[in-house]
Every structure is written in C-alpha cells, then in structure tokens.
C-alpha cells in the first residue's frame, strides 16, 4: 500500500514533534489500523499513546455485544442525563 502525501506529512510531523520534545508524551489518533505499524517506530511505547479509530469502533461493537446499550450510554453526552 502506497502512502499518500497527507500520510507522509503526518509521519514527518510526528517524527519532528517527537525529536523536539522527548519528555512530553504524545497522544496520536489515526483513522486506520494499518497506520499504527507505520507510526509506531517513531514513538516511545512507555510514554506515547496511539489510538486507531477503526480499532476503537471494533472495541465499542464488541462491548455492545456483551452489554447491549453500552454504545448508546457511552455515545450520549453527559448533559442529557442532568436534571432540568
């Protein structure tokens, strides 16, 4: 799979930020799971966090199978449950 120009820019940005600030943890969100493998070499696994939206969606689907209504509860903003 060829990396597009936007993906290459993202990788360079992650690399630049990480090389500039080594002590600050990075929180990175990517859309596809295969991007995790490409960005992971630039990060420190002890400090940095990388999340795939595709992986999060699958985890939420699995949680909904185990506990029906969990995705609705998580997806609703908290002010809906506040007293009016």
Cβ(51)–Cβ(30) below 8 Å: yes
Residue 83's contacts (CB-CB under 8 Å, 6 or more residues apart) are none
> 2-30: b or e for each residue (b if 16 or more CB lie within 10 Å)?
eeeeebeebbeebeeebeeeeeeebebeb
- In the beta sheet, which residues pair with residue 51? 29
pLDDT of the residue at 82: 66
Q: What is the pLDDT of residues 46-58, one digit of tens each?
A: 888 888 888 888 8
**C-alpha–C-alpha distance, residues 32 and 34, integer Å:** 6
pLDDT of the residue at 71: 80
Residue 42: pLDDT above 70?
yes
* The model's pTM: 0.59
Q: What is the pLDDT of residues 5-23, one digit of tens each?
A: 667 777 788 878 878 887 8
């Amino acid at each position: 799979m060829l990396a597009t120009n936007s993906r290459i820019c993202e990788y360079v940005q992650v690399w630049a930020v990480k090389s500039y600030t080594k002590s600050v943890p990075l929180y990175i969100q990517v859309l596809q799971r295969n991007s995790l493998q490409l960005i992971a070499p630039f990060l420190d696994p002890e400090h940095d966090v990388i999340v795939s939206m595709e992986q999060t969606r699958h985890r939420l689907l699995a949680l909904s199978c185990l506990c029906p209504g969990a995705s609705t509860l998580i997806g609703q903003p908290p002010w809906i449950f506040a007293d009016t």
